[in-house]
Chains A and B, each alone.
Chain A
Amino acid sequence: MDRSSFNRSAYLYLLPALAIYGIFVLFPILQTIYYSLTDWNGLTAPTFLGLQNYLNLFQDAVFINALLNNLAFIFFYSVLAIVLGMFFAVLLTSAPLRGMTFYRAGLFFPQVMASVVIGMVWRWIYHPQYGALNQVLRAVGLGAWARPWLGDFDWALTAVGIVGTWAQYGFCMVLFLAGIQNISSALYDAARIDGAGMFQQFWYITLPGLRNQLLVALISTLIAAIRIFDLVFVTTRGGPGYATLVAGMYLYRNAFVINRVGYAAAIAVLLTILILIISYFILRLQRTQEEESFA
C-alpha cells in the first residue's frame, strides 16, 4: 500500500463512534478489570486485593449455586430450544405449505418482545389463583398439581426455564429454516431415489447442512443463558431463597444493593471471559468447517 493512497479523512469518520464507544464502553471495561482486583464499597477509596475476590468467588456457595442455575438455564435456552426449533423447521419445510411465512412470523414473535414484557406475561400465567396454568390444571382434574409455580422451591427454576425455551425456540427455528432452504433439493431427490427414509434424510443431509446455523444458534442461546437477568428479575428476583438466583442477578445485588463493588466486578469479569471463550471456540469451529468445505 503506497502512502499517497491513504485516506486520512477516514479517521475523521471513525472519530465520533470511536469516542463514544471508547468513553462509555471500552474504558469502563478496563475499569471493571481493575475494580475486580480491589475491595471497594463505591464510596471510599478502593483497596487493592490482588486475586482475592476471584478466590473468594470460588468458595462462595451462593455464587457456585448461581452458576449451577445458569447451567440449568443452558438446558432450557440452548438444548430444548434448539431441539424444538429444529423440529418446527423440519416440519415447515417437509412439504410445500401454504402460509409458511405466517407460521414463521408467529413462532418468531416472542423473540422480538422485551424480556420484561415476557416476564410479566408469564407471571400472569403462573399466578397461583388467577393464572391460566393452574386454572387449566383444575379444569382437567389435575388440581392437585396446581401450585404457586414461581414461589415453589422445586418448580420455580423449571417454570422460568420453560419461559426461556418458549422465547428462544422461534429464533432457532428461523435460523434453521433459512439454512434448510439453502440445501440443494437435488440432494434430497438423490437420497430418496437411493431409498433413504425421512430420518436418514434428516441425519445425513439436513443436519450436516445446518452446521453453521447450529453453531450460531448455540452461541447466541448459550450467551443468553449465561447472561440471563431481565427475566429472572421480573419473575422471581432470584427467589424463592436462592432457587433461581443466577450469576447476573448476584452481580446486580453485589454491585448495586449491598455495595460490594469489587466483588461484583470480579463476577462481571468471569462472565465476560466465559462468553468470550464460548464465542471464540464456536467461531473457530465454524472457521475450520468452512476451510474443510473449501478444501
Chain B
Amino acid sequence: MGFANPAVNARRILGSIPTYLILTIGLLLAVIPFLLIFITALKSPAELGNAFALPQQFHWENFQRAWTQARFGTYFKSSLIVTLSVVGISCLLSLLTGYAFGQLRFPLKNSIFLLFLIGLMVPTEAYIIPLYYSLRAVHLTDTYWALILPQIGMSVCFGSFWMRGFFSGIPRDLVDASRVDGCNDWQTFWHVMIPMVLPGLWTMAVLFFIWTWNDFLLALVMITREGLRTLPLGLAMFQGRYTTDYTLTAAGATIVALPTLLFYVLFQRQFIRGVTAGAIKG
C-alpha cells in the first residue's frame, strides 16, 4: 500500500521525523544517566570537573579497586548465592503449587489460594518488623537464610497465582491422552505439562531474578556483617563511608548495574512481559 507513489512515501518519512526526534530525546534521557556514571567510573579524580567529558585514558583499575578494596567481589558473591537460591527454589515450588491449583481438585482449594493472594498484595513492610526480631532470637539474622526464606515466601505467592493460570490452560484432552498412553502422574507432569508451561516459567524466573537481585529493604534490616552484604546493600552502605571517593562509588554502581543490563539485553521480552504481568504485586 502506498509504495507505488514516491511523493506519498516521502511525505510519510518527513512526517515521522518529529516523532523520531522526540523518541530519541526520551531514549537519551533514559540512557544518559547510566552512561554518566559509567564514564565517571573510568576517570581519575582529577577529571571529575566535566561530567560529560571522556577520560584521557580509561582507569579500569577503579573496577579492580571496587571489586577487592571496596569488597564488591564479596557482595557479588552474596547476591549470587541469594538470587540463585531464591529463583531456583521459588520456581520449583511454584510449579508444584501451580500444578495443584490448576489441575487438581481438593477440599479448601479456594481458601488456600486466597491465602496466597494475600501475600501477593502485602508489602515487605507488613511483616519485616516482627520477622527481624524473631529471626534474631533464633540467630538467623546475619545469615543468607534471612534473605532467602522470606523472599521465597513472597515469590511463591506470585508464582502460585501465575503458574495456576498456565496449568489450568492445559487442554484436558492432552492430559487424558497421555494417561491412555500409559504415562503415570509424574511422567504426565514432566513430559506433557512442563513443556506447555515453559514460557510462563521463564517469565516468572526473570521476575524472581529482578525482585531478589534488586532487593534492598530485607538486606538492610537483616544483614549487619559486611561480609554478607548483597550488592545493593553494599553500594548504599559504601557510599556512606567513602562519600568523596566518587570514581570508586561510580565503579561500584556500575558493578551492581551490569548483570541486570546484561540480562536485560538477553531476555528483554521476558523482562517487559514479566514486569507488566507482575505489576499487581505489592
Contact partners of B104 in chain A: CB under 8 A:
7, 9-10, 13
A23 touches B37 (CB 8 A): no
Q: Does A171 contact B (CB under 8 A)?
A: yes
B123 touches A272 (CB 8 A): yes
Considering the chains assembled together, what is the distance between the CA atoms of A63 and B96 in angstroms?
A: 43
Q: Does B180 contact A (CB under 8 A)?
A: no
26 A-B pairs with C-beta separation under 8 A: A5-B105, A6-B107, A7-B106, A10-B104, A10-B106, A13-B100, A17-B94, A18-B115, A20-B156, A23-B153, A28-B126, A95-B12, A97-B23, A105-B272, A109-B30, A112-B271, A120-B235, A124-B250, A135-B51, A216-B279, A233-B236, A255-B129, A268-B128, A272-B123, A275-B122, A279-B282
Considering the chains assembled together, what is the distance between the CA atoms of A219 and B213 in angstroms?
A: 23
Q: Does B242 contact A (CB under 8 A)?
A: no
* 9 cross-chain pairs, A with B, having the tightest CB-CB distances, nearest first: A31-B130, A28-B127, A114-B214, A116-B232, A132-B51, A13-B96, A17-B156, A7-B104, A25-B153
A122 touches B149 (CB 8 A): no
Considering the chains assembled together, what is the distance between the CA atoms of A114 and B256 in angstroms?
A: 8
Q: How far is the CB of A127 from chain B (nearest CB, A)?
A: 8
Q: How far is the CB of B140 from chain A (nearest CB, A)?
A: 10
Q: Does B204 contact A (CB under 8 A)?
A: no
Q: Does B249 contact A (CB under 8 A)?
A: yes
Known contacts A14-B96, A95-B19; decide if A114 and B216 are in contact (CB<8 Å): yes
Q: Does B33 contact A (CB under 8 A)?
A: yes
Q: How far is the CB of A230 from chain B (nearest CB, A)?
A: 5
By secondary structure, the B interface counts as: helix
Known contacts A121-B253, A227-B123; decide if A16 and B275 are in contact (CB<8 Å): no
Q: Does A82 contact B (CB under 8 A)?
A: no
- For B33, give the chain A residue with the smallest CB separation: A121
Q: How far is the CB of B238 from chain A (nearest CB, A)?
A: 10
B256 touches A216 (CB 8 A): no
Known contacts A121-B34, A124-B36; decide if A171 and B275 are in contact (CB<8 Å): yes
| Contact segment of A64-72, A86-94, A197-205 | A86-94
Considering the chains assembled together, what is the distance between the CA atoms of A268 and B127 in angstroms?
A: 8
Q: Does B6 contact A (CB under 8 A)?
A: no
Known contacts A14-B96, A95-B19, A114-B213; decide if A264 and B122 are in contact (CB<8 Å): no
- For A116, give the chain B residue with the smallest CB separation: B232
Contact partners of B16 in chain A: CB under 8 A:
95, 97
Interface size of A in residues (CB-CB distance below 8 Å): 92
Contact partners of B154 in chain A: CB under 8 A:
21, 25
Known contacts A117-B253, A220-B280; decide if A26 and B36 are in contact (CB<8 Å): no
Considering the chains assembled together, what is the distance between the CA atoms of A132 and B51 in angstroms?
A: 5
Q: Does A58 contact B (CB under 8 A)?
A: no
B119 touches A6 (CB 8 A): no
Contact partners of B130 in chain A: CB under 8 A:
28, 31-32, 35, 265
Considering the chains assembled together, what is the distance between the CA atoms of A59 and B65 in angstroms?
A: 49
Per-position 1/0 for B32-54, Cβ under 8 A of A = 01101100100000001111100
Contact partners of A234 in chain B: CB under 8 A:
236, 239
Q: Does B97 contact A (CB under 8 A)?
A: yes
Per-position 1/0 for B120-141, Cβ under 8 A of A = 0111011111111110000000
- For A25, give the chain B residue with the smallest CB separation: B153
Q: Does A110 contact B (CB under 8 A)?
A: yes
B115 touches A26 (CB 8 A): yes
Q: Does A229 contact B (CB under 8 A)?
A: yes
B268 touches A42 (CB 8 A): no
Considering the chains assembled together, what is the distance between the CA atoms of A29 and B236 in angstroms?
A: 27
Contacts from B to A (Cβ < 8 Å)? 12, 15-16, 19-20, 22-23, 26-27, 29-31, 33-34, 36-37, 40, 48-52, 93-94, 96-97, 99-100, 104-107, 109, 112, 115-116, 118-119, 121-123, 125-134, 149-150, 152-154, 156-157, 159-160, 185, 210, 213-214, 216-217, 220-221, 231-233, 235-236, 239, 246, 249-250, 253, 256-257, 260, 264, 268, 271-272, 275-276, 279-280, 282
Considering the chains assembled together, what is the distance between the CA atoms of A157 and B3 in angstroms?
A: 52
Q: Does A145 contact B (CB under 8 A)?
A: no
Contact partners of B157 in chain A: CB under 8 A:
21, 25
B275 touches A112 (CB 8 A): yes
Q: How far is the CB of A151 from chain B (nearest CB, A)?
A: 13
Q: Does A243 contact B (CB under 8 A)?
A: no
A10-55 contacts to B, CB under 8 A, are 10-11, 13-14, 16-18, 20-26, 28-29, 31-32, 35, 42
- For A226, give the chain B residue with the smallest CB separation: B123
A117 touches B256 (CB 8 A): yes
Q: Does A146 contact B (CB under 8 A)?
A: no
B122 touches A94 (CB 8 A): no
A105-133 contacts to B, CB under 8 A, are 105-117, 119-125, 127, 130-132
Known contacts A17-B156, A106-B31; decide if A1 and B282 are in contact (CB<8 Å): no
A24 touches B126 (CB 8 A): no
Contact partners of B235 in chain A: CB under 8 A:
116-117, 120
A174 touches B216 (CB 8 A): no
Known contacts A11-B106, A106-B31, A110-B30; decide if A95 and B15 are in contact (CB<8 Å): yes
Contact partners of A28 in chain B: CB under 8 A:
126-131, 134
B276 touches A275 (CB 8 A): no
